[in-house]
Amino acid sequence: MHILAVDDSPIIRKLIEKALEPEGFMISEAKNGKEAVELYPKLKPDLITMDVTMPVMDGITAAKRIRRINPNQKIIMLSAMGDKDLIAEARACGITDFFSKPFKASEIITKIRQIT
Protein backbone atom coordinates (compact mmCIF):
# COMPACT_ATOMS: atom_id res chain seq x y z
CA MET A 1 0.00 0.00 0.00
CA HIS A 2 1.26 3.45 -0.96
CA ILE A 3 0.95 6.36 1.49
CA LEU A 4 1.63 10.02 0.67
CA ALA A 5 2.79 11.84 3.83
CA VAL A 6 2.17 15.58 3.50
CA ASP A 7 3.64 17.81 6.21
CA ASP A 8 5.87 20.88 6.26
CA SER A 9 7.85 19.31 9.12
CA PRO A 10 10.55 16.88 7.95
CA ILE A 11 10.47 15.40 11.46
CA ILE A 12 6.78 14.49 11.19
CA ARG A 13 7.27 13.03 7.70
CA LYS A 14 10.15 10.93 9.04
CA LEU A 15 8.03 9.78 12.04
CA ILE A 16 5.28 8.66 9.66
CA GLU A 17 7.83 6.83 7.52
CA LYS A 18 9.45 5.14 10.56
CA ALA A 19 6.02 4.04 11.82
CA LEU A 20 4.64 2.75 8.53
CA GLU A 21 7.52 1.31 6.49
CA PRO A 22 8.16 -1.60 8.92
CA GLU A 23 4.46 -2.46 8.50
CA GLY A 24 4.95 -2.89 4.75
CA PHE A 25 3.70 0.50 3.57
CA MET A 26 5.52 2.42 0.83
CA ILE A 27 5.88 6.12 1.74
CA SER A 28 6.19 9.15 -0.53
CA GLU A 29 6.53 12.66 0.86
CA ALA A 30 5.36 16.17 0.07
CA LYS A 31 6.38 19.25 2.07
CA ASN A 32 3.19 21.27 1.50
CA GLY A 33 -0.26 21.06 -0.02
CA LYS A 34 0.80 22.46 -3.39
CA GLU A 35 3.46 19.79 -3.78
CA ALA A 36 0.92 17.11 -2.78
CA VAL A 37 -1.56 18.28 -5.42
CA GLU A 38 1.20 18.31 -8.06
CA LEU A 39 2.48 14.83 -7.11
CA TYR A 40 -0.95 13.24 -6.69
CA PRO A 41 -1.69 12.34 -10.35
CA LYS A 42 1.74 10.70 -10.72
CA LEU A 43 1.75 8.84 -7.41
CA LYS A 44 -1.92 7.86 -7.06
CA PRO A 45 -1.46 6.89 -3.38
CA ASP A 46 -3.90 4.58 -1.61
CA LEU A 47 -4.04 6.98 1.32
CA ILE A 48 -2.78 10.46 2.23
CA THR A 49 -1.78 11.74 5.65
CA MET A 50 -2.23 15.51 5.42
CA ASP A 51 -1.13 18.20 7.84
CA VAL A 52 -3.73 20.95 8.24
CA THR A 53 -1.47 23.99 8.65
CA MET A 54 1.34 24.37 6.09
CA PRO A 55 2.94 27.19 4.11
CA VAL A 56 2.32 27.63 0.36
CA MET A 57 -0.98 25.65 0.48
CA ASP A 58 -2.78 24.38 3.58
CA GLY A 59 -4.05 20.84 3.96
CA ILE A 60 -7.75 21.68 3.63
CA THR A 61 -7.23 23.42 0.26
CA ALA A 62 -5.00 20.58 -0.95
CA ALA A 63 -7.52 17.95 0.18
CA LYS A 64 -10.32 19.75 -1.69
CA ARG A 65 -8.23 19.89 -4.88
CA ILE A 66 -7.24 16.24 -4.61
CA ARG A 67 -10.86 15.27 -3.96
CA ARG A 68 -11.83 17.06 -7.21
CA ILE A 69 -9.47 14.68 -9.03
CA ASN A 70 -10.61 11.63 -7.03
CA PRO A 71 -13.69 12.10 -4.81
CA ASN A 72 -12.98 8.75 -3.10
CA GLN A 73 -9.38 9.48 -2.09
CA LYS A 74 -8.78 8.41 1.51
CA ILE A 75 -7.23 11.23 3.56
CA ILE A 76 -6.28 11.34 7.24
CA MET A 77 -5.81 14.88 8.54
CA LEU A 78 -3.07 15.58 11.08
CA SER A 79 -3.18 18.69 13.20
CA ALA A 80 -1.06 20.16 15.97
CA MET A 81 -4.05 22.18 17.06
CA GLY A 82 -7.60 21.10 17.76
CA ASP A 83 -9.20 23.85 15.69
CA LYS A 84 -12.89 23.00 15.51
CA ASP A 85 -13.46 25.28 12.51
CA LEU A 86 -10.75 23.55 10.46
CA ILE A 87 -12.09 20.13 11.43
CA ALA A 88 -15.60 21.21 10.44
CA GLU A 89 -14.29 22.44 7.09
CA ALA A 90 -12.44 19.15 6.54
CA ARG A 91 -15.57 17.17 7.41
CA ALA A 92 -17.55 19.28 4.92
CA CYS A 93 -15.26 18.03 2.13
CA GLY A 94 -15.72 14.42 3.22
CA ILE A 95 -12.74 13.85 5.51
CA THR A 96 -13.71 11.90 8.59
CA ASP A 97 -10.40 10.77 10.07
CA PHE A 98 -8.25 13.07 12.21
CA PHE A 99 -5.19 12.70 14.43
CA SER A 100 -3.63 15.26 16.72
CA LYS A 101 0.12 15.62 16.78
CA PRO A 102 1.94 14.03 18.38
CA PHE A 103 0.19 10.81 17.35
CA LYS A 104 0.78 7.24 18.45
CA ALA A 105 2.17 5.08 15.65
CA SER A 106 0.02 2.10 16.65
CA GLU A 107 -3.17 4.21 16.45
CA ILE A 108 -2.44 5.58 13.00
CA ILE A 109 -1.50 2.10 11.71
CA THR A 110 -4.79 0.71 13.06
CA LYS A 111 -6.78 3.54 11.44
CA ILE A 112 -5.05 3.09 8.07
CA ARG A 113 -5.85 -0.61 8.08
CA GLN A 114 -9.50 0.11 8.98
CA ILE A 115 -10.13 2.57 6.17
CA THR A 116 -8.19 0.94 3.32
The pLDDT tens digits of the residues spanning 51-98 come to: 988 999 999 999 999 999 999 999 999 887 666 777 788 888 888 888
Dmax (CA) for the chain in angstroms is 35
Query: What pLDDT does 81 receive?
Result: 67
Strand partners, 40: none
Overall average pLDDT of the 40-55 stretch = 95
pTM of the model: 0.92
Question: Angle CA(62)–CA(108)–CA(69) in degrees, nearest 5?
Answer: 25
The rounded distance, in Å, linking the Cα atoms of 116 and 101 is 22
List the one residue out of 28, 27, 33, 26 whose CA is nearest residue 7. 33
pLDDT band for position 13 (cuts 50, 70, 90): very high
